[in-house]
A and B are shown apart, each in its own frame.
Chain A
Amino acid sequence: MSYVLVVAEVRRGIFEERNLDSIGLCALLGKDAILLIPEGDYGMNEQLVNGLVRVKTEEALFLNPLNMVNILEKVMAARGKPDMIVFTNSASGIELASYAAGHFNLPVITDVNGYDKERGIFFKSYYSDKIFGEFRPSGEGTFIVTVRSGSFKENAAGKGSAPPAEAIEDVAANAARTFVEYVEEEKTDVDITKAEFLLSLGRGIGNKDEIPDYEELAGLLKAVISGSRPVIDKLWLPKARQVGTSGKTVKPKVYLAMGISGAFQHIAGMKDSSCIIAVNKDPEAPIFQYAHYGIIADIHKVRDALKGILKG
């Protein structure tokens, strides 16, 4: 029977919310979703899927791409080839998906954020969301996608009954890559998630020497400073200040973004702010799509003008 295999992302006992986007895509395609998940109590709503395959293995082994291909081999031997295998578009989802694509020699489209059912087309972002490519597999047969968080979850709907479950056992563990431990981020005294007003700086500030002038502006506005990933990568601001998927998720009353383009990994971390104000010299910057207010201008000039007014 035709089906889509949804590889669940679970970590430290949690069924990640973004799995709903993978399930939602199946609903949009009108295909049965079979969820592949390690054995354990993940407290998810099982009625969202048409079937479950529980893998008798530890979570860390399940999340290891070298073992995942063995698991997938077993699933396909038992159930036949799926029409599609769906992963989340996360650190682990992309890692698993790409390795499985190489191992099974399957087409892969990552970071899918839309689907046109009539034309059988997947939308994928290019150039930091300035352009979308309409993609499809070139031939027939199984293909792999990873799904951008937030894209399809509203399509996930309960089926009204508990789905049948199968089990997979005796998964060989590959010793070439092994989990050692989790490493938590160091605790610091600033907590940008608690701030009501964030002045967030992006790569557009140009260089580290500009930081003190923005700190002065933040002081005058009584705002807390945060930043996009490149600003943290370049050590212009400490890691605790990073907003986005690999940093913090923030929901301040006001998020004032200066020189930030609006890549989805950044947007995911701030889109629920009550009011987003973006300053950027590029009128096409994707951040203006998410902002409530925008100023198209040079950020340094805006900074200096604001300082001028505030200092009276």
Chain B
Amino acid sequence: MNLIVFTKRVPATQEEELRITGEGKAVDLSKVPFKVNDWDNYSIEEAVRIVEKSGGAVTAVSIGDAESDEVLRRSIAMGAKDGFLIETGDVLHDPNARATLMQNFLKKENVPFDAIFTGVQSEDDQFGAVGGILAAKLGLPFVSMVIGIDATESDHLIVRRELEGGLQERVKVMLPCVISIQTGINEPRYVSIMGVRKASKVERKVFKAAGYQENVVNKIEVVKWVYPPKKAGATILSGELDGMCKELLGILKEKGVYQ
């Protein structure tokens, strides 16, 4: 089975203080480390497992600046055969614009596939919409929140999609299709620095995004970036570590959960 996996390089903002600059025009990410989108890490792993079992090849595709080559090298280290970069300096906030660019690229370059994998969402913008838009544009069936692939047959997949509260839904989807992978579907393999170094010897192809712009328009616009409104917030304990911990135990006693 030939699988295309879209993978994105994202800022790891979880532990960073983010600053808005230019009166809301931009978010300063210049000091933030970047990494592979968590969801894509699981998607690549799932795709590689399928081809390891039943043959075929995985092609990793990324949209982004030259630095996004990093996630392609990583994908190859995990077992992808090819890495394609659709190079653009622009950050496409609109999922419609991103999906249209992908559609144009797949059509023009005639990349063969039986299924396309995307992550459920990317960590930075949390849109969760690119996979669904792309599927509809390609006229292919779509399943999102895929937390298990139970069977891969020549003409269909049986997948489990995750709903709320621990419930799952088993679905049959005909090939070719687009599916969006949820974290936790597998245990992604460890990627060593040596592995990435070796992968960098495999040629990655670079395609300029300028060549695939037909109908790539922003259907939505960002007016401004703002900080979320502050709620009442927590009472922050202060002082020495030991003192704070004693205060914490005092609160637990007061709440009746600790004697």
Contacts and interface: CB of A to CB of B under 8 A. Distances in A.
A91 to B, nearest CB: 5
Interface stretch (A37-45, A105-113, A153-161, A164-172): A105-113
A296 interface: yes
A148 B42 CA distance: 25
Interface stretch (A22-30, A46-54, A76-84, A124-132): A124-132
A125 B126 contact: yes
B126 A126 contact: yes
Nearest to B184: A233
A99 B142 contact: yes
A297 B14 CA distance: 15
A57 interface: no
Interface string B246-257: 101101100111
Contact of A98 (B24, B131, B184): B131
Contacts of B124: 126-127
B235 A111 contact: no
Contact of A95 (B16, B17, B145): B145
B171 to A, nearest CB: 6
Interface string B215-259: 001111111111110110111110001101110110110011110
Given A177-B171, A294-B235, A131 B228 contact: yes
Contacts of A1: none
B166 interface: yes
Interface string A222-239: 110000011011110001
B90 to A, nearest CB: 15
B241 A288 contact: no
Interface in A192-246: 196-197, 203, 221-223, 229-230, 232-235, 239, 242, 245-246
* Interface residue SS majority, chain A: mixed
Contact of A197 (B94, B162, B258): B258
Contacts of B252: 197, 221, 254, 256
A70 interface: no
Contact of A110 (B17, B127, B162, B174): B127
Contacts of B174: 175-177
A222 B133 contact: no
A19 interface: no
Interface string B189-232: 00000000000000000000000000001111111111110110
A121 B223 contact: yes
Contacts of B42: 233
Chain A interface category by residue count:
35 or more
A66 B236 contact: no
Given A129-B228, A246-B162, A296-B236, A134 B222 contact: yes
Contacts of B66: none
B230 A97 contact: no
Interface residues of B, number: 90
B96 interface: yes
Given A131-B27, A248-B166, A295-B244, A289 B231 contact: yes
Nearest to B172: A178
Nearest to B180: A95
A232 B166 CA distance: 12
B237 A97 contact: no
A75 interface: no
Contact of A288 (B14, B234, B245): B234
Contact of B236 (A121, A130, A239, A295): A295
A126 B220 contact: no
Given A135-B222, A245-B164, A94 B14 contact: no
A236 to B, nearest CB: 11
A295 B159 CA distance: 42
Given A102-B135, A254-B257, A289-B231, A183 B183 contact: no
A197 B228 contact: no
B236 A294 contact: yes
A130 B133 CA distance: 26
Contacts of B13: 127-128, 130
Interface in B137-194: 137, 140-145, 158, 160-174, 177, 183-184, 187
A95 B131 CA distance: 9
Interface in B12-70: 13-18, 20, 24, 27, 38, 42
Given A101-B136, A131-B20, 14 more contacts: A66-B142, A101-B132, A101-B133, A110-B127, A130-B18, A135-B222, A176-B177, A180-B171, A181-B170, A183-B167, A183-B168, A246-B165, A276-B234, A286-B228
> 3 smallest A-B Cβ distances: which pairs?
A98-B132, A102-B136, A102-B133
Interface of A: 11, 65-66, 69, 90-92, 94-95, 97-103, 105-111, 119, 121, 123-139, 143, 174-185, 196-197, 203, 221-223, 229-230, 232-235, 239, 242, 245-249, 252-254, 256, 261, 274-278, 281-284, 286, 288-297, 301-302, 305-306, 308-310
22 contacts: A99-B142, A102-B132, A107-B219, A119-B223, A125-B228, A130-B13, A138-B220, A174-B141, A176-B174, A177-B141, A184-B168, A196-B257, A253-B255, A253-B257, A254-B252, A274-B255, A282-B16, A282-B17, A294-B235, A295-B248, A302-B244, A309-B245
